[in-house]
Amino acid sequence: MWGGRFAAGPSAIMREINASIPFDKALWGQDIAASKAHVAMLGAAGIVSAEDAAAIAAGLDQVAAEYAANGVPEDWDLEDIHMTTESRLAELIGPVAGRLHTARSRNDQVATDFRLWVRDCLDQTDAGLHALQVALVTRADEHAASIMPGFTHLQTAQPVTLGHHLLAYYEMIRRDRSRLADARVRMNECPLGAAALAGTGFPIDRDATAAALGFDRPTANSLDSVSDRDFALDFLMAAAQISLHLSRLAEEFIIWASQPFGFVVLPDSLSTGSSIMPQKKNPDAAELVRGHSGRIVGALTSLMITMKGLPLAYSKDMQDDKPPVFEAASLLALSIAAMTGMVAEARFREDRMRAAAELGYATATDLADWLVRQADIPFRQAHHITGSAVRLAESRGIALDRLPLADLQAIDPRIDDRVFAALSVEASVAARASHGGTAPGQVKLRVADARLALGWAPGLEG
Ligand code: ARG
């Protein structure tokens, strides 16, 4: 493509280090679409003749059909998807193909193609997260009143409902989706027409190409257009945050599925066995989601460091923008799908969760709250009285509500037999009916809000 300036061809090493076709062939659909928008504009503006524009557009359609049928050929001499397509176009339609690159550079071309790709990826990620939210809300509704221990420091703290626990993840994903939506608004400007870095002297119509490719407007600065990769970083930052949330959810399932917990039976379809221990059923999918978050965060770090310190405008370092984004996108899509299946198909063992909630004096706060409310004792003092009761129950190896009234009254005479009604795990969760609290009634309200927000009113499902 630049033979005029060079006396010798590139060495084998130059060819190899330079070639991006092994990975940027994933952009072929975007590359064809952007070229078609560009040549239509060139024709409409009279920069190339109508016949040439039509011949190029038809040739591009033929190249696209070949790619769809046979894949994109990988010739390192052709370096990247842009030159691969242009060279095939020339084989098909002859020298007129050379007019396609008028008023354009690979710099604005790759910036445009990659934006289009990332934009699709934002939309697909958002759709995946919507499905995960539907699964979370469905299971939360089903388990609005299923009692389990709530933890702090992974120590039993207070009883909560499983529905409440699952809706915590719904909220995280809701914020993640808003990150994707923000990123999409910000990135939806078209760099095509920035040319190499300075714009072009040809009378191009950037509004036309922007509109044809579904962008809101053309970008405002040609230098920025060809050197900005923050749209890709915005995606990776959102992807990293999403992967952290998925990793935490995966970790919950890993813990809950372990034998000492036994809160959940994982779907066979998302588990594996052991080649040596016949009894094993391993949570590999969840572990890989947890593991993949490391690679996704690594992809973000990789591109941040690639971009750090690059002077304007384009430098070849930026060719390395694509592998981390492609890798993160496919790992993330798999992770979202795996967690959606896990949430939708796991069998929760209400008996085990309920029994665990009875352990660890999870209703001690309810005793303290009862003392505050019924005996008008300041909370700090109530906390101390309750601590004595827990110590006594622990020394006898019994639950708080199994302590005889006389023993409780020996600790504090203001306690009476109404206290027992407050000490069950059901009473404990029912009492926490503050906005956003764990009470089953609150969970049902939040499920209703979530269904509305997801555009999934009752009666629409199925
Ligand atoms: N393959 C290149 C990339 O992905 C396309 C842009 C090349 N531009 C250039 N001036 N060499 O960045």
The Cα 86–Cα 370 span in angstroms is 78
Assess whether the C-beta atom of 112 lies below 6 angstroms from ligand 1.
Answer: no
Of the listed 153, 269, 434, 435, which one is catalytic? 153
> What angle, 0 to 180 degrees and rounded to 10, lies between the N-to-C axes of helices 106-142 and 440-453?
150
The DSSP code for 346 is -
| Contact indicator for 273, 280 with CB cutoff of 8 Å | yes
Cα distance between the two ends of the chain: 56
User: In a 10 Å sphere around its CB, with 0-12 CB exposed, 13-18 middle and 19+ buried, how is residue 412 labelled?
Assistant: middle
320 CA distance to ligand 1 middle (Å): 10
Q: How confident is the model at residue 24 (pLDDT cuts 50, 70, 90)?
A: very high
Predicted confidence (pLDDT) per residue in 218-241, tens digit: 999 999 999 999 999 999 999 999
Bridge pairing between strands 147-152 and 155-161: antiparallel
Task: From residue 252, give the alpha-carbon distance in Å to each of 91, 152, 266, 286, 290.
Answer: 57, 13, 12, 9, 10
Residue ranges of the alpha helices (H) in 283-358? 284-307, 322-345, 350-358
What is the atom index within ligand 1 of the atom nearest the CA of 114?
Answer: 4
Instruction: Look at the block and give the residue holding tokens 């934009």.
Output: 119
Of 434 and 2, the one with more pLDDT: 434
Average pLDDT over residues 283-301: 97
Q: How confident is the model at residue 462 (pLDDT cuts 50, 70, 90)?
A: very low
Predicted confidence (pLDDT) per residue in 145-194, tens digit: 999 999 999 999 999 999 999 999 999 999 999 999 999 999 999 999 99
Gyration radius of the chain's alpha carbons: 30
Confidence (pTM): 0.94
The Cα 459–Cα 450 span in angstroms is 15
Alpha carbon dihedral 209, 211, 217, 221, in 10-degree steps, equals -10
Q: Which of 75, 76, 110, 303 to mutate to test the pocket of ligand 1 (most atoms within 8 A of CB)?
A: 110
Residue owning the nearest CA to atom 1 of ligand 1 = 80
136 CA distance to ligand 1 middle (Å): 43
Q: Which of 80, 81, 306 to mutate to test the pocket of ligand 1 (most atoms within 8 A of CB)?
A: 80
360 CA distance to ligand 1 middle (Å): 61
pLDDT value at 271 more than 90: no
Of the listed 274, 315, 330, 388, which one is catalytic? 274
| Contact indicator for 338, 132 with CB cutoff of 8 Å | no
The Cα 2–Cα 79 span in angstroms is 12
pLDDT value at 442 more than 70: yes
What is the atom index within ligand 1 of the atom nearest the CA of 79?
Answer: 1
Residue owning the nearest CA to atom 11 of ligand 1 = 316
Which residues are 336's β-sheet partners? Answer: none
pLDDT value at 306 more than 60: yes
Assess whether the C-beta atom of 110 lies below 6 angstroms from ligand 1.
Answer: yes
Q: How confident is the model at residue 457 (pLDDT cuts 50, 70, 90)?
A: low
Work out the mean pLDDT of the chain and round it to a whole number: 95
| Residues belonging to the chain | 462
pLDDT value at 415 more than 60: yes
User: In a 10 Å sphere around its CB, with 0-12 CB exposed, 13-18 middle and 19+ buried, how is residue 418 labelled?
Assistant: exposed
Assess whether the C-beta atom of 108 lies below 6 angstroms from ligand 1.
Answer: no
Active-site residue 274, yes or no? yes
Residue owning the nearest CA to atom 12 of ligand 1 = 319
Q: Which of 21, 106, 109 to mutate to test the pocket of ligand 1 (most atoms within 8 A of CB)?
A: 106
1 CA distance to ligand 1 middle (Å): 13
What token pair was written down for 391? 């110590």
What is the atom index within ligand 1 of the atom nearest the CA of 20?
Answer: 1
